[in-house]
Amino acid sequence: MPVLVMKFGGTSVATLDRIRRAAKRVGVEVSKGYDVIVIVSAMSGKTNELVGWVNETSPLYDAREYDAVVSSGENVTAGLMALTLQEMDIPARSWQGWQVPVKTTSAHSSARIEEIPSANITAKFAEGMKVAVVAGFQGVSPEGRITTLGRGGSDTTAVAFAAAFEAVRCDIYTDVDGVYTTDPRVSAKARKLDKIAFEEMLELASLGAKVLQTRSVELAMRYKVKLRVLSSFEEQSDEAGTLVCAEEEIMESNVVSGVAFSRDEAKMTLVSVADRPGIAAAIFTALSEGGVNVDMIVQNISEEGRTDMTWSCPVDQIKRAEKAMDDAKTAGTINFNEVIADMDVAKVSVVGIGMRSHTGVAAKMFQVLSNEGINIKVITTSEIKISVLIDRKYMELAVQALHDAFELDKVA
């Protein structure tokens, strides 16, 4: 039998009624002849509750214990989904990460999947099971401890299963009906895209468009998994939602495909660092070893042997970053005056594979922001995107102005 992977996010399984609705969608695919692997997230709000408890208990928590606690939400949904399918007379059973086993690295709370042996589940399909319900977001380390894949990790679980089982497609059911040119809550003119290239989706995902976890798009691109994003709250055809696919499969597209933003960034500045060869390496090694994911980096011009180093990182890693810098100062590896955190910032980005062959996108973006009186704090660019860090209060204004200026409400 061909295998189909279906992933249901937290809002799609938020209540028993919604689990039933999701199960009905699964039933439709089973009736088409698929063996289905269902990946489930925790019921909406559950993971946040668990994360809140961990943070309150231990702000600089042991990530191994964080994972043990936070992974429990998915186990609950997996069992309930299996029971719901059984009630519909569909042979189903649940699997927790360690039971498959979903083998990951030991990088707790942001582990990477290394291998998904298919033998156990394939054997059950051969015995007549129609649906394997797998708890998303989690795996097991070589040491036998529970790992998690980072927020949104269930998307990655889904794509990894699609790759391991050579699934015909990986359908990501969520609370939106596809990928938009920007968040419709910020710009009323946002338009749903029928198709988007892996590379664009990758940038959008990493820039804060929370439709798919970045890692899941990377995996899908590498293993050529057909990835579809669609709503679990509407009747669906085979063409619904947005297909994330290779660039060659998209005939026409705008120069800019979308405007992304993120409120979860903070700007940190290390003031008056003693400049010397290797100082950047020292700073960012210390941050990396302290578990901080640095995004943008700016180094000011060095004067009289001292410089300022600025970077952005997720807001919830600020404590870790401060600790890493203080430790490095105490150890004598980095010399600086003070570290300043600015949490009132936002990142806004324009993304599009068309930027490879079109010039002037950056200039236009800066002009649009300037026209609105918005000051740019940090800039980074890649082949297909331009990102800026600005004051958070201007975020919505910037997104709307850019969406208008690049005419994203119109099809190319």
- Chain residues binding its own copies by CB under 8 A are 16, 19, 50, 53-54, 56-58, 61-62, 64-66, 68-69, 71-73, 75-76, 78-80, 82-84, 86-87, 93-94, 96, 98-99, 144-146
Q: How far is the CB of 287 from its own copies (least distance, A)?
A: 23
Residue 59 identity (one-letter amino acid): P
Contact 403, 370 (CB under 8 A): no
Quick one: which of 364, 389, 371 has its CA closest to 379? 389
The CA angle 404-408-412, to the nearest 5 degrees, is 135
Q: Is 346 helix (H, G, I), strand (E, B) or coil?
A: strand
**Conformational region of residue 324, where left means phi above 0, alpha means psi within -120 to 50, and beta covers everything else:** alpha
Q: How far is the CB of 59 from its own copies (least distance, A)?
A: 9
Q: Which is nearer to its own copies, 89 or 235 (CB)?
A: 89
Q: Which residues contact 264 (CB under 8 A, 6 or more apart)?
A: 208, 314, 315, 316
Q: How far is the CB of 133 from its own copies (least distance, A)?
A: 9
Quick one: which of 288, 350, 274 has its CA closest to 320? 288
Quick one: which H or E segment has residue 288?
A: helix 279-289
Q: How far is the CB of 224 from its own copies (least distance, A)?
A: 33
Q: Which is nearer to its own copies, 145 or 191 (CB)?
A: 145
Q: How far is the CB of 69 from its own copies (least distance, A)?
A: 4
- Rounded Cα distance, 153 and 151, in Å: 5
Q: How far is the CB of 161 from its own copies (least distance, A)?
A: 18
Q: Which residues contact 392 (CB under 8 A, 6 or more apart)?
A: 263, 344, 345, 346
Q: How far is the CB of 62 from its own copies (least distance, A)?
A: 6
Q: Which is nearer to its own copies, 61 or 284 (CB)?
A: 61
Q: Which is nearer to its own copies, 145 or 192 (CB)?
A: 145
- Rounded Cα distance, 291 and 108, in Å: 10
Q: Which is nearer to its own copies, 15 or 367 (CB)?
A: 15
- Rounded Cα distance, 196 and 73, in Å: 31
Q: Which is nearer to its own copies, 56 or 252 (CB)?
A: 56
DSSP bridge pairs for 310: 269, 298
Q: Which is nearer to its own copies, 86 or 335 (CB)?
A: 86
Q: How far is the CB of 235 from its own copies (least distance, A)?
A: 23
Q: Which is nearer to its own copies, 133 or 201 (CB)?
A: 133
